[in-house]
């Protein structure tokens, strides 16, 4: 006997920030909406990614800045108190309880179904095989990703950390091996080294953060080394083993036969979409695959304009803020299609997640921080644009030299010479996270360079790097 | 016998940042240029304003942030080391020597004449009555301002500090009375209180920073009080006296008959232009007055299009970065007029200092910081614009709550409803200085609100306040 269908206008699969925002926008468009989530409402971001990672990092950065300033450093005689940092992290994750998020959902009038949802053909979702939710207008898949783990002998027995463990660990391991060279790897290496671990960072390639301008990875790697992290490039882990019948230390065997021992090992080697057990096959899609969408987040290859995918699961831009952005756009598109009003899917239109393709902003909260938006030089060249880059040593900017002593950092603009606009910007240095939005507004606003000359940075801020960069463009 | 004229294309009076930049732009336009300065090359900004004030403030802010973060605060057991802060300040002012600036001038090919320059009729400047510099094309007045001191009985005998003393003092006074409620007053009250003085801030009006949105002054005053400053509004100093034959403490008598005693007293009650001994009368202008200019910085009321005034002396926007901005524009205008090429003085044109009138960016480096650009609500109403404001409690933004515990701050956008653009923005809170440029680009770039929705702030930064503000605009 099949369950009695419960009908809604919109069914959202996945209650992370993307699902929450999409449901919120659908509800605001006057559509009855239900959210299906088997774990915590709030998702990776709230409990195992953005929030706990930044909570782990921020006290270390603040202390590092105080230590880098004569007058302040004399006041800093002790060490970072790891237990206090972990306790603050626990508060930011609400001790891994989602009561406040559930309360928010309730206040918006969005229904919540706890359980594992799977597509069950067109406009239908079956939760735990027991409840059948049907959608008049749309189903949105916002199930995100989980850590990818490679096939390596001994991996399971070694009980490696993934990003979830690295952000939620209750104790500081004496030695931590981190495998990977992306954002999770460098942020967690930074955090745990500051908290007292001896971190070894094992990178397969020749550098970290390889999607950013090359100097970003170089400066971040130099920062890791300066903090005491043992950074090794060109490494390959071929085998793992944990001693003491699984309770002792982990030994990693590398491709060159050498070994690294550690108390914990973090695998940060990529993400896979949470689509393997989602009933994708019932709508003609491939289970386990990334879900391809158009700029309104409508899934390609499914007839009827009813299936959407937003956030990391569509592989456009794997960041919380871009997921929420897609959620706003997809929610508006669902509302417009439901109301039968025309969509504006032109570039920068209300129903086009154009910022994904222009190059989403990203901040890596290492020390130094690395922040980028738009196209890197390599991106621009691949896109066939006629560009010019200008670089500026941030240490030569008055505001940066005041910020900390011996400031090391660099900025780059990528300028489209045919349109005379900035199409990419990268800032690397202590405290640059908040500089990025100036570039995001310039790139997205397509503000012409002659107009940017009138956007005067206040003296003496780090933002004055804009003046130096523009001067070089003129020179 | 009159001195033999030395002829240049351009004569610049005043070697602060504005004069230096104007000379640089004139020289770059192929014009022979001489700079006249009687004091240090580099001006107030380098030796007695921006740089030393920020050098005094930054270590205190960094330490305050570390103290506001569990985990970091446990490491901070000592106090700010005032001697070390003062020593770092001395390095940032090059110990009040201008060798490096003179070296830069030399490298650019700009001539330097040390001495006091006065206009001597059309296109002529007499230096110390001895050297006559004549200009083929332009004379530019960039002499800035000095502190205004009111007429108060006993003022001279009390030997008050002005901004120069407050930024260059070699010792921390036990008690410091600060008179004023503007930027100099609140920054120096913040700095010296942090360095160990007991500061009393005596404000004539009912609040500080009265040109900004009201909440800016309220939050900054609250920050001063939290730091231990005795902030008093509605006060009026009617008499001063220094005991011990001029070597003892200062007693200030207030309008209500009460007294305040201090070791030093800082007068930060405004600025007057350095135009009283500049030979303005030889070109038909009033000595001692602010010099009125058009948007290309050409002086009004002087025939022949040869006299310019840039920087604080023209009273358009008394900030180093705006002076340098005007210098770039005036230098380009001088170059264009000399070459006989047409000027672009339309709004946002190459030869129009339009940002001065759109509302220049300003950052006040107190704790919390206050940063604003464009029009305040009051400005916009005075200008007759149809506007809407949206406010956001910064403490509710995830990135701010991570930045320091118990984050207190506020942001406001002023939106022109007829043009659907942001015409003003104010941010107040710890570490907001670098947020401002995002608003400056939006205001100056006149980026439409629907496009700003695509400028996604990275999560979790303080910049995410933009999303909250836009959501309120939509709501």
Tens digit of each residue's pLDDT (9 = 90 or more) over B9-42: 999 999 999 999 999 999 999 999 999 999 999 9
The reported pLDDT for the residue numbered A245 is: 81
Does residue B442 sit at the A interface (CB-CB below 8 Å)? yes
As a residue count, chain B comes to 475
Instruction: Express each pLDDT in A52-68 by its tens digit.
Output: 999 999 999 999 999 99
Name the residue among A54, A440, A454 with its Cβ closest to that of B402. Answer: A54
With CA atoms as reference, the chain A residue closest to B351 would be A454
The reported pLDDT for the residue numbered A326 is: 98
Mean pLDDT of B234-258: 94
Q: Is the pLDDT at A1 greater than 60, yes or no?
A: no
Q: How close, in Å, is residue B82 to chain A by CA atoms?
A: 6
Helix (H, G, I), strand (E, B) or coil at A367: coil
Exposed, middle or buried by CB within 10 Å (0-12, 13-18, 19+), for A11?
buried
A84–B63 C-beta distance less than 8 A = no
A445–B402 C-beta distance less than 8 A = no
Q: Is the pLDDT at A42 greater than 70, yes or no?
A: yes
B92–A70 C-beta distance less than 8 A = no
B85–A460 C-beta distance less than 8 A = no
The reported pLDDT for the residue numbered A247 is: 84
Closest residue by Cα to residue A346 from A421, A419, A295: A295
Q: Is the pLDDT at B461 greater than 90, yes or no?
A: yes
The reported pLDDT for the residue numbered B246 is: 79
**Buried-exposed string A163-200: b where 16+ CB fall within 10 A, e elsewhere:** bebbbbbeebbebbbbbbbbbbbbbbbbbbbbbbbbbb
Q: Is the pLDDT at B380 greater than 90, yes or no?
A: yes
> pLDDT category, A32, cuts 50, 70, 90?
very high
**Among A437, A438, A444, A463, the residue to mutate for chain B (most B Cβ within 10 A):** A437
Exposed, middle or buried by CB within 10 Å (0-12, 13-18, 19+), for B398?
buried
How far apart, in whole angstroms, are the C-alpha atoms of residue A40 and residue B121?
A: 79
DSSP assignment, residue A182? S
Instruction: Express each pLDDT in B248-286 by its tens digit.
Output: 999 999 999 999 999 999 999 999 999 999 999 999 999
**Buried-exposed string B194-207: b where 16+ CB fall within 10 A, e elsewhere:** bbbbbbbbbbeeeb
The reported pLDDT for the residue numbered B300 is: 96
Residues from chain B contacting residue A70 (CB–CB below 8 Å): 59, 81, 84-85, 87-88
Q: How far is CA A171 from the centre of its chain?
A: 24
Average pLDDT in chain A? 97
ipTM (interface predicted TM): 0.97
Closest residue by Cα to residue B440 from B312, B319, B351, B313: B319
A75–B60 C-beta distance less than 8 A = no
With CA atoms as reference, the chain A residue closest to B401 would be A92
Q: Is the pLDDT at A244 greater than 90, yes or no?
A: no
What are the phi and psi torsion angles at B387 (to 5°)?
-125, 165
Name the residue among A75, A85, A328 with its Cβ closest to that of B80. Answer: A75
Mean pLDDT of B46-73: 98
A71–B82 C-beta distance less than 8 A = yes
Q: Which two tokens stand for residue B375?
A: 């029009």
DSSP assignment, residue B408? -
pTM: 0.98
Contact B341, B334 (CB under 8 A): no
Does residue B438 sit at the A interface (CB-CB below 8 Å)? yes
With CA atoms as reference, the chain B residue closest to A54 would be B402
Kindly give, in sequence order, each residue whose CB lies less than 8 Å from that of residue B364, ignoring residues fewer than 6 positions away: B183, B186, B187, B209, B212, B216, B220, B370, B371
Instruction: Express each pLDDT in B413-458 by its tens digit.
Output: 999 999 999 999 999 999 999 999 999 999 999 999 999 999 999 9
CB atoms within 10 A of CB A300: 12
Contact B28, B332 (CB under 8 A): no
Residues in a beta bridge with A146: A272
Mean pLDDT of A408-424: 98
The reported pLDDT for the residue numbered A2 is: 74
Q: Is the pLDDT at B1 greater than 70, yes or no?
A: no
How far apart, in whole angstroms, are the C-alpha atoms of residue A298 and residue A140?
A: 9
Which domains does chain B possess? 5-42+98-146+272-355 (3.50.50.60), 163-269 (3.50.50.60), 368-474 (3.30.390.30)
- Give the residue carrying structure tokens 């987040």: A297
How far apart, in whole angstroms, are the C-alpha atoms of residue A368 and residue A454?
A: 29
Mean pLDDT of A134-147: 98
Contact A63, A368 (CB under 8 A): no
With CA atoms as reference, the chain A residue closest to B433 would be A461
Cα dist. B119→A126, B138, B277, B327 in Å? Answer: 86, 12, 9, 19
CB atoms within 10 A of CB B274: 19
Does residue B296 sit at the A interface (CB-CB below 8 Å)? no
Mean pLDDT of B57-80: 98
Instruction: Express each pLDDT in B150-186 by its tens digit.
Output: 999 999 999 999 999 999 999 999 999 999 999 999 9
Residues from chain A contacting residue B59 (CB–CB below 8 Å): 66, 69-72
Does residue B200 sit at the A interface (CB-CB below 8 Å)? no
The reported pLDDT for the residue numbered A202 is: 98
How far apart, in whole angstroms, are the C-alpha atoms of residue B456 and residue A462?
A: 21
Does residue A427 sit at the B interface (CB-CB below 8 Å)? no
Does residue A350 sit at the B interface (CB-CB below 8 Å)? yes
Instruction: Express each pLDDT in A179-236 by its tens digit.
Output: 999 999 999 999 999 999 999 999 999 999 999 999 999 999 999 999 999 999 999 9
What is the tally of helices (H) and strands (E) in chain B?
16, 21
The reported pLDDT for the residue numbered B319 is: 97
Residues from chain A contacting residue B456 (CB–CB below 8 Å): 321-322, 324-325, 355, 360-361, 440
Q: What percent of chain A has pLDDT over 70?
A: 100
């Amino acid at each position: 006997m099949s369950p009695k269908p419960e009908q809604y206008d919109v069914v959202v699969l996945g209650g992370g920030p993307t699902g929450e925002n999409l449901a919120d926008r659908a509800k605001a468009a006057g559509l009855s909406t239900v959210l299906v989530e088997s774990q915590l409402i709030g998702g990776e971001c709230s409990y195992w990614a953005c929030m706990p990672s930044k909570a782990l990092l921020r006290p270390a950065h603040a202390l590092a800045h105080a230590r880098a300033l004569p007058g302040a450093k004399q006041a800093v005689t002790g060490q970072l108190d790891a237990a206090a940092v972990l306790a603050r992290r626990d508060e930011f994750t609400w001790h891994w309880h989602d009561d406040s998020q559930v309360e928010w959902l309730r206040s918006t009038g969005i229904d919540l179904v706890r359980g594992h949802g799977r597509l069950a053909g067109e406009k239908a979702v079956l939760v735990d095989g027991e409840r059948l939710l049907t959608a008049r207008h749309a189903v949105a898949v916002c199930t995100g990703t989980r850590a990818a783990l490679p096939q390596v002998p001994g991996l399971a027995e070694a009980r490696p950390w993934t990003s979830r463990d690295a952000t939620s660990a209750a104790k500081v391991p004496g030695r931590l091996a981190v495998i990977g060279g992306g954002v999770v790897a460098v942020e967690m290496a930074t955090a745990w080294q500051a908290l007292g671990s001896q971190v070894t960072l094992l990178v397969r390639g020749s550098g970290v953060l390889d999607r950013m301008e090359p100097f970003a990875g170089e400066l971040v790697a130099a920062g890791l080394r300066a903090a005491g992290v043992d950074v090794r490039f060109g490494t390959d882990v071929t085998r793992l083993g944990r001693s003491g019948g699984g309770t002792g230390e982990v030994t990693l065997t590398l491709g060159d036969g050498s070994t690294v021992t550690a108390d914990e090992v973090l695998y940060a080697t990529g993400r896979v979409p949470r689509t393997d057990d989602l009933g994708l096959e019932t709508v003609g899609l491939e289970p386990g695959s990334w879900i391809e969408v158009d700029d309104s987040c409508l899934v390609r290859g499914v007839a009827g304009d009813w299936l959407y995918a937003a956030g990391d699961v569509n592989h456009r831009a794997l960041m919380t803020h871009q997921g929420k952005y897609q959620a706003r756009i997809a929610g508006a598109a669902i509302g417009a299609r439901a109301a039968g009003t025309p969509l504006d899917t032109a570039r920068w239109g209300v129903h086009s997640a154009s910022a994904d393709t222009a190059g989403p902003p990203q901040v890596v909260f290492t020390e130094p921080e690395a922040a980028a938006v738009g196209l890197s030089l390599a991106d621009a060249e691949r896109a066939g644009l006629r560009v010019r880059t200008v670089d500026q040593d941030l240490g030569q900017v008055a505001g940066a030299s005041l910020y900390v002593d011996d400031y090391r950092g660099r900025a780059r603009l990528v300028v489209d010479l045919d349109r005379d606009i900035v199409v990419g910007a990268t800032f690397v240095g202590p405290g640059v996270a908040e500089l990025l939005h100036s570039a995001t507004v310039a790139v997205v606003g397509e503000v012409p360079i002659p107009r940017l000359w009138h956007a005067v940075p206040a003296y003496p801020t780090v933002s004055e790097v804009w003046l130096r960069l523009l001067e070089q463009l003129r020179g």
